[in-house]
Structure 1
Amino acid sequence: MASSPDSTSPKPTFTYPTNYTFPHHRLQRVMKDSSKTPIVLVACGSFSPVTYLHLRMFEMAKDYVRQNTDFEIVGGYLSPVSEEYKKAGLLNAAHRVAMCTLASEETSTWLTVDPWEAFQSYQRTAVVLDHFDFEINTILGGVKTAEGEARNVKVMLLAGSDLIGTMSEPGVWSYRDLDHILGRYGCLIVERAGTDMDQATDSLARWRHNIHIIPQLIQNDVSSTKVRLFLRRGLSVRYLLPNPVVDYIEDRGLYQDEAPTEKGKERRDSISTPKKDVPSAS
């Protein structure tokens, strides 16, 4: 059973976009197996544009969780980053949220897009996870077992192994954020070619029990950066992205005039933002 937040911790406070409502229409409110711990997967990123690999990560995580853990997934969320995260190739929030919504609603039965992060000032990953924890466990009251017992949901970050690579580099992430993300919440990391997972996890040994490595059995190196390059060159991106997303891009002529991505701009989180303490709420 997921532990409850420390009662001595200050009550979290958050800012909210105009007319925002937390989307929970696909959140499974009753567990199938009361012997397991309910979890929600959260993938934070630019999603500019969302690709099949982004979606595939959730399916790989589902298989891993079912076969290797005592967790039960009750929801999966894509959380597009704010426009204020200054990054080459970052389309405006409205387009990215729309594409993620098309991808999740039309190709999946359990994934959802949460626009909370996208439509406001930049929010660190630690704060984003706090937001999900607050909305699901405090506002909605968590989930219930088939017997009617209330359970808190464990929020977990889902990401590619490049994230763990940056977390293991000294000075990139603040220690307090790392402890909050990996200690309080935990993460599921999908292996990618070129990342030394053993070295990365050795550097994060304190939280190793809360880091789950998911093998990528079929290699897939599709990335948003490569997709944008194809679009600039007038090449087809069908079957790299969900068809509704391809249609959305083509209908609006997106990514045609983007400047080439600057080297080193692909990291999402503390690399380009000053290290701060986690407030009361890549």
Structure 2
Amino acid sequence: MTSQEEIKVVLLACGSFNPITNMHLRMFELARDHLEDSGKYRVVKGIISPVGDRYEKEGLIDASHRLKMARLAIQNSDWITVDEWECQQPEWVETAQVVRHHYEELISSENNNDDVDTVRVTPQLKLLCGADVLESFGVPNLWKPEDIEEIVGRYGVACITRCGGNPEKVINQSDVLYKHSKNIHVIREWVTNEVSATHMRRSLRRRQSVRYLLPDAVVNYIEENDLYSEESEQKNADVILAPQRYTCTN
């Protein structure tokens, strides 16, 4: 397959990024390798979209800090970007709406292409996520059925799963996921990595080192701004999380 026949893909990762970790960045690299190794795709861009403050997850620090850390984390990447649109919205935004927004941005960008000799083909947009998000599609009343249908059926998902996981079982147990299984790219992470933002915040609260688990620039920013503490972890502790509060998705 020649490069002209390869399908362009943009990867979009939504989440708290509280804080962003090396594993968040590693997901983009794993997905790009997997898709491009198939010979069918060429990944042209990665987008990190931190959730807004109105998500009100326990321990969620201000979006301004999470945006800054994300931008510091990708400062050496030539293809991953950070987008602030979701953070700027006055209310919490459903994931399907975020994906839809970025796809419309891709269409608009292609339509504004001044090169009249270029065939305009809008890249595919795929939601990049971990296996926990794929599993959450099966949790009753957490996602709107029409949102799952739109995300998986219209756009597609690149799911990073770890050794020992069984995403095929998750797909098989869901009628909607099974119907669109060709749009779900299961990407195995064979190098065990249990880095999570929750673990990072716990270590930071305890004044333990997180170097080499987070990008150095992010570690420095956290230390300079004294971001994570017992007090910050209690933020939104008594608030019902956005998906349940609005009886819709994320």
Would the aligned equivalents of 2:92 and 2:242 in 1 still touch at CA under 8 Å? no
| CA pair 72-271 structure 1, distance change in 2 beyond 3 A | farther
The residue number in structure 2 matching 1:225 is: 198
Q: Which runs of 5+ in 1 are unaligned?
A: 1-31, 277-281
Q: Distance in 1 between matches of 2:95 and 2:139?
A: 17
Query: Cα offset for 1:144?
Result: 10
Q: TM-score of the superposition, structure 1-length normalised? A: 0.79
Query: Cα offset for 1:262?
Result: 9.7
Query: Cα offset for 1:219?
Result: 1.2
Q: Distance in 2 between matches of 1:240 and 1:261?
A: 24
| SS of 1:156 mapped into structure 2 | strand
| CA pair 272-192 structure 1, distance change in 2 beyond 3 A | farther
Task: Read off the aligned partner of 2:134 and give its amino acid letter.
Answer: I
Pair 1:216-2:185 in alignment: no
The residue number in structure 2 matching 1:4 is: none
Pair 1:259-2:229 in alignment: no
Q: Distance in 1 between matches of 2:200 and 2:16?
A: 13
Pair 1:119-2:93 in alignment: no
Would the aligned equivalents of 2:141 and 2:247 in 1 still touch at CA under 8 Å? no
CA RMSD of aligned residues (A): 2.5
Match of 2:99 among 129, 142, 150: 129
> Number of aligned pairs?
241
Pair 1:166-2:136 in alignment: yes
Pair 1:243-2:213 in alignment: no
Pair 1:46-2:20 in alignment: no
**Structure (1 or 2) with the greater helix fraction:** 2
Task: Read off the aligned partner of 1:217 and give its amino acid letter.
Answer: W
Would the aligned equivalents of 2:60 and 2:235 in 1 still touch at CA under 8 Å? no
Would the aligned equivalents of 2:142 and 2:247 in 1 still touch at CA under 8 Å? no
After superposition, the C-alpha distances for 1:153-180 in whole angstroms (9 at most, x for unaligned) are 1111000000001002333211100111
Q: 1:1-282 to 2 correspondence within 5 Å?
A: 33-68=3-38, 70-105=40-75, 107-120=76-89, 121-141=91-111, 148-192=118-162, 195-202=165-172, 203=174, 204-256=177-229, 257-259=231-233, 270-271=243-244, 273-275=246-248, 282=250
Q: Which moved more, 1:236-245 or 1:62-71?
A: 62-71
| CA pair 143-240 structure 1, distance change in 2 beyond 3 A | farther
Task: Read off the aligned partner of 1:223 and give its amino acid letter.
Answer: S
Q: Distance in 2 between matches of 1:262 and 1:275?
A: 19
Q: Distance in 1 between matches of 2:221 and 2:54?
A: 23
Q: Distance in 1 between matches of 2:242 and 2:107?
A: 25
Q: Distance in 1 between matches of 2:242 and 2:14?
A: 10
Q: Which runs of 5+ in 2 are unaligned?
A: none
Q: TM-score of the superposition, structure 2-length normalised? A: 0.88
Q: Distance in 2 between matches of 1:38 and 1:73?
A: 6
After superposition, the C-alpha distances for 1:113-140 in whole angstroms (9 at most, x for unaligned) are 0000012221111111111111111244
| SS of 1:88 mapped into structure 2 | coil
Would the aligned equivalents of 1:144 and 1:150 in 2 still touch at CA under 8 Å? no
| SS of 2:192 mapped into structure 1 | coil
Identity, in percent, stands at 36
Task: Read off the aligned partner of 1:259 and give its amino acid letter.
Answer: E
Task: Read off the aligned partner of 2:32 and give its amino acid letter.
Answer: K
Q: Distance in 2 between matches of 1:103 and 1:207?
A: 33
